[in-house]
Chains A and B, each alone.
Chain A
Amino acid sequence: MSDKQTKAPPEVEVTDLTKSFAAVRALDQVSAKFRAGRMHALLGENGAGKSTLVKCLMGYYRTDAGKILVDGNEHAIEHPRAAHRLGLGMVYQHFTLVPRMTVAENFLLGRDSLPAVIDWVAQHALLDEFMARMPFKLDPRRLVGTLAAGEKQKLEILKQLYLGRRFLVLDEPTSVLTPAEADEVLGEMRRLVDAHELTVVLITHKLREVMQFAQDVTILRGGKVVAQTEVAACSEAGLATLMFGEALPLEKEGTATKGASRHDRAYLELEGLDVIGDRGTPAVVDVGFKVHAGEIVGIAGVSGNGQKELIEVLAGQREAQSGSVRVDGRPFRRRRRQLESKGVSLLTEEPLANAAVRSMTVMENLALRQFDRAPLSIGGIVLKRRALRPFARALIARYGIRAGSPSARLDTLSGGNVQRTVLARELARDVRLLIMQNPCFGLDAAAATDIRRQILRARDGGAAVLLVSEDLDEVLELSDRVLVMAGGCITYETPRANADRYEIGRHMTQGPARLSA
């Protein structure tokens, strides 16, 4: 454990950093300077390149081009250990703690060298002394599993400090914190920065945090730096503009808005939905809204604000703690017969993990909705395997799925084709409720346009469509009504006709007015 340093914390600069994954350019000649002893905010939408940038800094990715300079010296950071040695550390969104070990044990495990026999008396004394100097206090003898989410987040930060890292990247640190805790943590971080102990890079989408705590800000969009400036010279509105870009003309060719022929009764109705997430904290709080037949309701929001859990509840993969979901007026039981009779189709993100069976063939996957009905089944009991192939062939042709053969295993297909397979299966029936989550993620432009056309066609055919997407452009392009989900709540609603892009963006980047701890 390091003693108090008298020299300044590190300053990191990147020049012309470029990193591509397959065809996608995640970082495009990014240059930025993170000055020593300052708190620097890194802003950007999903996919803008923030996490790629910091992962390059931390040695998880090797850059394709560009330089990284620490305190003016160039370093090739090829491994996290190299980053650690330079004093760089990162606190992730997902905890790296071992729940069934104590706080003290978690501290010790991060160290490069441990004595063979651990003198706990001495170690605890050292830890107590360390804690005394720290802004957050935790009992080292507690089991990590018993800590609340906020405490675990603080522990992650403390661990980095304990290991002597003085350049800290905080990845969305307040996502599991209450507003009060968020202010406490960021406030303490700022205090350490001002005392010249740390340089902090804060990745966040909450503009209020940036305005309140950060000193410098870098904004990324599409892998490029669109602005780097001091916070003092900005306003929240200005930041939002920089983040989300110019307003798109709302009337676009091809988004044939056939004026939603809406029915008055809601086909999908959620009320008072409360869902607890994987970390044990509320992920969805008192969510209620309606989707009518013949309309597209889009939910915009930054990733991690409860959308995943909401969709999982609708898909039957997670249980809600309270609240109700009704489809066509009846309680939604997510049983096969009801899914069929109510015409419910879902397209989730990460189809291989959530919606398809990777070890089954393409034709079997295509049959997942229909395998117990004619023409694939006799009487709902017998499965006519021979009918699978022609059934699949028709869908493959119609939806342009590129597969070696219908009997190829699903996981031999590319990501886009897996998505197309699930899409084909879900749309090729009588769809009356279509629930989609990031449907065009990872697809090329042609495929994405195609899917969007399908969505519109479904809507025009009278289906109720719920579109949950992290791509604001997509939501604005397709929806008849736009909702914003932030911090697990629905915080804003507007019909598309008079939607204000900045207003929407602003709500996306704010937590809800009150969040139950």
Chain B
Amino acid sequence: MTGTFDLGWWGVALAIVAGAIRVSTPYLLVSLGETLTEKSGRVNLGLEGTLVLGAMSAFATCYLMGSPWLGMLAAGVAGAALGLLHAAICNLPRVNDIAVGIALFIFGIGLAFFLGKPFIEPRAAMLPSLPLGNWSDNPAIRSAFAISPVFFIGIALAVSLEWGLKNTRWGLVLRMAGESADATRAIGLSVDRIRTLATMAGGSLAGFGGGFLSLYYPGNWNEGLSSGQGLMAIALVIFARWSPLRCFYASLLFGGASAIGPAVQTVGITEGYYLFYAAPYVLTLGLLIYSSSRTRTLAGAPSELSISR
């Protein structure tokens, strides 16, 4: 990043902030999706596969159709489809949702790499960014503050989901399905249907997250695109204790942690680069240990979740 040497440590801070914003966006989208799914009582470990499939679909559609927003749409559809598959199998009796998640993880990635082979070389149109840094002449500041509107959509989504979970009928019903399937059935609602819709919504959000990766940052399609953001979202949701707004803060934190490494490299610090990557996971593990006890696993988790048993 040219110009950061001039800024010295300010450049580092800038890089971290910019990196946090950019990297956190897919985390935010995926974790919001998984929050919805888990609030309804299912765990979807297949989000990594969904994310990758979404990324590929977005890139391919954009390349073929020329519009990045159409690409995002395709990503959402692909994500919803995988979500539907997850829910359909999990609705069958005696099926373990964690196992299905891992299966979809494998399937989704396989499908994405298979169908995406022809799209590895070419470049496609990118999602636009809002030039919020144009008040400065410094190119570093300009590029740091060129933020994608998707980030703001994500924030809006986090806020509205947080509000919606408490103040709308579907929010209440969703939470009830995740807290007590019995009580939900008692008032005549279909728990399976609620969970299916929640998983599909979660899947499409994860798809959008993938689309962001391939159409914005890093902005291409290849088989090393995802560095585990999908699975990381599971940890993130736990860290955020199933609150959409806290997912936003946590994504910034996790995103920032990933950005610290490359940022401090520019001022010559090369030690401990990878340890920053581990930081979010260590934090989440610590939080888990702190908030669990022998009699009550995972305080704050929706009671119907299989991982809270």
> A: which residues have CB within 8 A of B?
80-81, 96-101, 105, 108-110, 112, 114-118, 120
Contacts and interface: CB of A to CB of B under 8 A. Distances in A.
A116 B172 contact: no
A97 B187 CA distance: 12
Given A98-B180, A109-B187, A118 B172 contact: yes
B168 A108 contact: no
A116 B169 contact: yes
Interface of B: 166-170, 172-173, 175-176, 179-180, 182-183, 186-188, 302-303
B180 to A, nearest CB: 5
B179 A98 contact: yes
B183 A98 contact: yes
Nearest to A111: B187
A100 to B, nearest CB: 6
B168 A117 contact: yes
Contacts of B169: 114-118
A120 B176 CA distance: 18
Contacts of B302: 100
A99 B179 contact: yes
Contacts of A101: 172, 175-176, 179
A359 to B, nearest CB: 12
A120 to B, nearest CB: 6
A81 B168 contact: no
Contact of A98 (B168, B170, B176): B176
B188 A81 contact: yes
Nearest to A118: B167
A98 B167 CA distance: 17
Contact of B186 (A96, A112, A118, A120): A96
Nearest to A105: B172
A115 B168 CA distance: 8
A178 B176 CA distance: 30
A100 B183 CA distance: 13
Contacts of A118: 167-169, 172
A118 B180 CA distance: 21
A115 B303 CA distance: 25
Contacts of B180: 98
A117 B167 contact: yes
Nearest to B167: A118
A100 B179 contact: yes
A110 B179 contact: no
Contacts of A116: 168-170
B179 A108 contact: no
Contacts of B167: 117-118, 120
24 contacts: A80-B186, A81-B188, A96-B182, A98-B175, A99-B179, A99-B303, A100-B175, A100-B303, A101-B172, A101-B175, A105-B172, A109-B172, A109-B187, A110-B187, A114-B169, A116-B168, A116-B169, A116-B170, A117-B167, A117-B168, A117-B169, A118-B167, A118-B169, A120-B167
Given A98-B176, A100-B303, A101-B176, A109 B168 contact: no
A101 B184 CA distance: 13
A110 B173 CA distance: 11
Contacts of B303: 99-100
A120 B166 CA distance: 9
Contact of B172 (A80, A96, A99, A114): A114
A98 B39 CA distance: 14
Given A96-B183, A110-B187, 12 more contacts: A80-B186, A81-B188, A98-B176, A98-B179, A98-B180, A99-B303, A100-B303, A101-B175, A109-B187, A116-B168, A118-B168, A118-B172
Chain A at the B interface: SS class: loop
A77 to B, nearest CB: 15
A114 B173 CA distance: 10
A109 B168 CA distance: 12
A358 B302 CA distance: 28
Contacts of B170: 116
A344 B175 CA distance: 46
A109 B179 contact: no
A144 to B, nearest CB: 10
Most buried by A among B166, B169, B175: B169
B172 A108 contact: yes
B161 to A, nearest CB: 14
A126 to B, nearest CB: 16
B17 to A, nearest CB: 36
A20 B187 CA distance: 27
A80 B172 CA distance: 22
A147 to B, nearest CB: 15
A120 B164 CA distance: 12
A320 to B, nearest CB: 14
Contacts of B166: 120
A392 B190 CA distance: 45
Contacts of A81: 188
Nearest to A81: B188
Contacts of B172: 101, 105, 108-109, 114, 118
Q: Sort A-B residue pairs by CB-CB distance and give the 10 closest, nearest first.
A: A114-B169, A98-B179, A98-B180, A116-B169, A117-B168, A118-B167, A100-B179, A98-B183, A109-B176, A96-B183
A82 to B, nearest CB: 12
Most buried by A among B167, B168, B173, B187: B187
A224 to B, nearest CB: 31
A442 B255 CA distance: 60
A101 B173 CA distance: 11
A134 to B, nearest CB: 22
B172 to A, nearest CB: 6
Nearest to B179: A98
Nearest to A113: B169
Contacts of A112: 187
A424 B200 CA distance: 51
B164 to A, nearest CB: 9
B165 to A, nearest CB: 11
B188 A109 contact: no
Contacts of A100: 175, 179, 302-303
A109 B188 CA distance: 11
A372 B39 CA distance: 45
A162 to B, nearest CB: 14
Contacts of A117: 167-169
Contacts of A98: 175-176, 179-180, 183
Contacts of A80: 186
A114 B189 CA distance: 13
Nearest to B186: A96
B194 to A, nearest CB: 13
A169 to B, nearest CB: 16
A96 B182 CA distance: 8
